[in-house]
Structure 1
Amino acid sequence: MKKPLWPSPENGAKNGGMPGPRIRIRAGLARTSAAKWLVIPAVLIGVAIIGSWAMAVEEPKFTVSLHEGAFEVRDYPAVVVAEVTVTGDQAGAVRKGFGLLAGYIFGGNTRHQSIAMTAPVAQQRTSETIAMTAPVTQTPADGAWVVRFTMPSSYTLATLPKPNDPRVMLRQMAPARFVVVRFSGVATQSSLAAKTAELLAFAQSHHLHTSGPATLAQYNPPWTLWFLRRNEVMIPLAG
């Protein structure tokens, strides 16, 4: 009697050989199905977390006077900000600054009071000649960066609790007009430089006069997938 070319489900099991084709196919389908049911809930949970963050976090209000693709000219009212000056590279500075500011809003103040988180986080270089003010921003100056949280609109300088950490400063920023470009992905020092160059070129082409350094504004929590992230570069305008 001829030996079968492929072990059958039966003789494969009897002889300790590889499972037959039907068993292998069924096992593969079972693994694929199991993986699918594990991935789908994970994706749904991630979308729910990102969605709830977006719904819960207050952003500064503004009006738009010019919109062209990813570019806008916006007018912001006066806002109160908490800010720190930190050193390091772009990514390290925003992490350090975020930690100090989070300490303040999560009870590190004279009233042990929690203050709602807002978006974005703003980062700006203090050594540059373009300045940015708004949400949470990060900027470097003389090797340092200013990182800012915009305080919820329900607070004023008089009603905010004082920070326990003397590095955290509270101040009111005057109404301002900004030219802004929006982009997705992971914000890096190179993308900040590239988007700042694009924004300056856009401003020049529209005869807009910039009056300060660029600010990088990041709107999403760190676990957000890169293609869902919202970042902006903002430069103040004169007049």
Structure 2
Amino acid sequence: MTDRQPYRVVARHPGFELRRYPAHLVAEMQVEASFTRAPLEAFRPLAAYLGGANRARHPAGLTTPVMPEATGTEKIPMTVPVVQEEGERPGAYLVQFVMPANSTAATLPEPVDPRVRIREIPAQLAAAMRFSGRWTEQAFGQRATALGRAVTAARLQPTGAIRYARFDSPWKPWFLRRNEVVLPVVE
């Protein structure tokens, strides 16, 4: 079973949950592509990182007995969701794989692919709207607009970019997929 990113529900409002997310690490990649193509283009390099395309930070031991040398790769368990948000310029998206909750910057190996980077996301309060359905720009856009309006109606102030979260594989029937739009808000 795939681990899920931890959070704590702080309150429930009409149309969304207010959640507290702990600080966490992501492996991320910026992609210049359409909303629909971006996660497809980022998936292979990010999945390769999880699968062992990394430089394990385990130095060879200097004590006896001598152990066989590590292969230099380490597999990292998959965690959901896969997150997408708008990049720094139009037509660019940041696609992120959330790293396991017990990961630290010191324990995660360095990616081999220079396009993949590890970054810490600080703890934050965020509004989240859950829905099922297809992964289209229109479906996410409609929910993002509704979430923005609900957050404003609750007198909360957004503090960052909206994130689009996918929890299921593409093989899961679209009507059973768990998706979310998440918007960081001021404490």
Structure 2-normalised TM-score?
A: 0.88
What's the CA shift for 1:194?
A: 0.8
What's the CA shift for 1:70?
A: 4.9
What's the CA shift for 1:90?
A: 1.2
**Corresponding position of 2:96:** 148
Unmatched tracts of structure 2, length 5 or more: 57-72
- Paired residue secondary structure (1:199): helix
What's the CA shift for 1:68?
A: 3.9
**Corresponding position of 1:228:** 176
Percentage identity across paired residues of the two chains: 36
Unmatched tracts of structure 1, length 5 or more: 1-55, 128-140
* Corresponding letter in the other structure for 1:192: F
Normalized per residue, the structure richer in strand is 2
How far apart, in 1, do the equivalents of 2:79 and 2:42 lie? 15
Change over 3 Å in CA distance of 1:181–1:113 after alignment to 2: same
- Equivalences, count: 171
What's the CA shift for 1:98?
A: 1.4
- Paired residue secondary structure (2:3): coil
**Are 2:164 and 1:203 aligned?**
no
**Corresponding position of 1:130:** none
Q: Deviations over 1:164-207 (max 9, x none)?
A: 00111011111001111111011211112111110011001110
The answer as to whether partners of 1:183 and 1:231 remain within 8 angstroms in 2 is yes
What's the CA shift for 1:69?
A: 5.8
**Corresponding position of 1:121:** 82
- Paired residue secondary structure (1:191): helix
User: Root-mean-square deviation (CA), in Å?
Assistant: 1.2
Question: Which runs of at least 4 in structure 1 moved beyond 3 Å after TM superposition?
Answer: none
The answer as to whether partners of 2:6 and 2:101 remain within 8 angstroms in 1 is no
Asked which structure has the greater RCO (Cα within 8 Å, sep 6+), the reply is: 2
Structure 1-normalised TM-score?
A: 0.69
